[in-house]
A and B are shown apart, each in its own frame.
Chain A
Amino acid sequence: MEASPRALAVVGSTLAVLGLAEVFARAAIGRLDVESALVLALVVVGSTLPMALSSATTAALLATAASVLSLAGFHLLSVASAAAVLICLYRLGGSPDRTRPPRYFAIALATPFLVLALIGPSPPSSEWAALTVVLAALAPVAAIGGIAVQAGREVQENRAARQVIADTLVDHTARGERARIARELHDVVAHHISMVAVQAEAARLAVPGLPAAGAQRLSAIGDTAREALVEMRRLLGVLRDDAGVDVADRHPQPGLDQVTELVDDARESSGCPTRLILRGAPIALDPHVELVAYRIVQEALTNSRRHAAGAAVDVELVYADSELRLRVRDNGPGPNPMAPLGGHGLVGMQERAFAVGGTVRTGPAPGGGYSVHAVLPAKLEDLA
């Protein structure tokens, strides 16, 4: 709330004009001789115009010096000068400058007027006496007033800053709390889905006289529950990361870049030779298509691990024209004729591929083993 330089300049000039008018009026009515009038005029200028200076200290110094000199040496002071001194002292007291302590200097500048008032005038003059006493009383008040106002401003700023910190802390804690709650909910849901899987398996095998169609459906239910749990485990990883940290989704949907990771993981956890073969110039695919491709590779690798443990697996990606041809082949025992059809996530693969306008074929690989073969369009606009 520092007064603008322009306002100070205006006030200073106005006071100067008023002060000169006062001098002129006094001289005109014969109360002032020419010399005194000149001195007083100089004092008026010297005390009012410095207000416009940018340095509050210099302004106050000049105003006070001019006024004290005038009072002590010439027993004269205009009201305008007195007003100027008070304004400068108030401004100095309220200055926000922290590098030097000018505020307390303002109090110091008020003391000469006290001294003058105490010493008393010589020769005594009632007008002089009155003005000196008034100034002596008001100068410290102006200085301290400025200091008080500035102090109040700073308390206000501190309070606002503390509020912002408190709000941020509450927000942070709330987020951490939400992540914890989300994790707990996740645990509960994961448990329920686990139970679905257990029940489906128990029913599939242990219900006497269950027809093959029923066993198929139960197998599909179990597979779906297991897929859901795979996703839930991934979610748990995200929730672990998120606890206490403000982070946008750090785990974007996987694409073909992540297929290398899948292949590495498969190789490591199964210990079997697993190769990734790329053919053709890679082109940018629709992100939905990339996700479908990733899921197909993921499912096929899981199946190989489960039903052809120990077999070598090849994952082949061929970029051609405007499509991606994807084949996952293992040299294991091949499809089990006794196993119920439609299980093992194959239905899921077919649905995903169909949803983006592609096709999936699964079955025995030429030369033995099992093969998953998918053809996916590069862009979704290719759908009719």
Chain B
Amino acid sequence: MTEPRTVRIVVADDHQLVRDGFAELLDTQPDFTVIATASDGAEAVRICKELRPDLVLMDVRMPRMDGIEATRQLVGLGSEAPRILVLTTFDLDEHVYDALRAGASGFLLKDGTAERLFDAVRVIAAGEALLAPGITRRLISEFATQRPVSPASSASLRSLTPRETEVLRLVTEGLSNLEIADRLTITEETVKTHVGRVLSKLGLRDRTQAVIAAYESGLVVPHRA
């Protein structure tokens, strides 16, 4: 499960305590290396274009350019773009939702334990599962329903085969590839193929975007009123 090479990380936060603290923590792990820190969104984008990290820890609120705009710009780099893990103090933050929609892969509370931080970085870097599926789904379902359903996403959903729609639904429930393989009694490899096809058919970056698309298109309806 561990990556053969180390995950190259950039930490972007306007508070030095957070930058230094997280950098120190991450550097204690053999599979991580922090290559740079940034104190606002613009600096983060510049550094990422130059150094091409694998993952960026991005604070949502920063001066000059905030985490949402920086995410948007980084995602625009296409296949060269790093994965983005959003940092926040509040768990039901609409800004976090906006960052997810802009292309971030997951979010993390700043006050979590070190173990949680390491786990989050590994999950996002691997891309096999949603990070903190329960909380992420709750956030998405809370805010997705406040936005109007976009007809474009409903249309592209129809291009999925029944099996692919089934896989998408299970991804939206927060299941990892392994869990989906168990549920549908197929191999993990097959699940990965299906997920890959779903993402490319819908033009989505990762599973988090798939969950957002599912809620926003109305494919999945939150059951908590």
Contact = CB atoms under 8 A, between A and B. Distances in A.
A82 B15 CA distance: 91
Interface stretch (A83-91, A98-106, A188-196, A325-333): A188-196
B189 interface: no
A201 B114 contact: yes
A195 B17 contact: yes
Nearest to B113: A201
Nearest to B174: A271
B135 interface: yes
Given A206-B25, A206-B27, A236-B90, A197 B20 contact: no
Contacts of B109: 229
B135 to A, nearest CB: 6
A202 interface: yes
B20 A195 contact: no
B138 interface: yes
B89 A191 contact: yes
B17 A229 contact: no
Chain A binding site: helix, strand, loop or mixed by DSSP? helix
Given A198-B21, A199-B17, A205-B28, A233 B91 contact: yes
Contacts of A201: 21, 25, 113-114, 117
Given A194-B111, A197-B110, A229-B109, 19 more contacts: A194-B89, A195-B18, A198-B18, A198-B22, A198-B110, A198-B111, A202-B22, A205-B28, A229-B89, A229-B111, A233-B90, A233-B91, A233-B92, A236-B90, A269-B134, A269-B135, A271-B133, A306-B113, A306-B116
24 contacts: A187-B89, A193-B111, A194-B89, A195-B15, A197-B110, A197-B111, A197-B112, A198-B110, A199-B21, A201-B25, A202-B21, A202-B25, A202-B114, A204-B114, A206-B25, A222-B113, A226-B113, A229-B89, A229-B109, A233-B90, A233-B91, A269-B134, A306-B113, A306-B116
A269 B92 CA distance: 14
A206 B23 CA distance: 10
B114 A205 contact: yes
Interface of B: 15, 17-18, 20-22, 24-25, 27-28, 89-92, 109-114, 116-117, 133-135, 138, 173-174
Contacts, number: 66
The 3 closest A-B pairs by CB, nearest first: A269-B134, A197-B111, A206-B24
Contacts of A187: 89
A46 to B, nearest CB: 76
Interface string A184-222: 000100110111011101101110000000000000001
Contact of B111 (A206, A226, A236): A226
Nearest to A309: B119
Nearest to B116: A306
A370 B18 CA distance: 33
A156 B15 CA distance: 59
Contacts of B25: 201-202, 205-206
Contacts of B117: 201
Contacts of A202: 20-22, 24-25, 114
A268 B223 CA distance: 11
Interface in A166-189: 187
A194 B111 CA distance: 5
Contacts of B89: 187, 190-191, 194, 229
Contacts of A229: 89, 109, 111
A202 B15 CA distance: 15
A268 B141 CA distance: 13
B94 to A, nearest CB: 11
Interface in A56-99: none
A268 B22 contact: no
Contacts of B20: 202
A346 interface: no
A268 B113 CA distance: 22
Contacts of A268: 134
A54 B109 CA distance: 77
Interface string A258-278: 000000000011110000000
Contacts of A139: none
A346 B203 CA distance: 47
A195 B15 CA distance: 9
A222 B173 CA distance: 31
A190 B134 CA distance: 23
Contacts of B114: 201-202, 204-205
Nearest to A225: B111
Nearest to A267: B134
Nearest to B13: A198
Interface string A342-367: 00000000000000000000000000
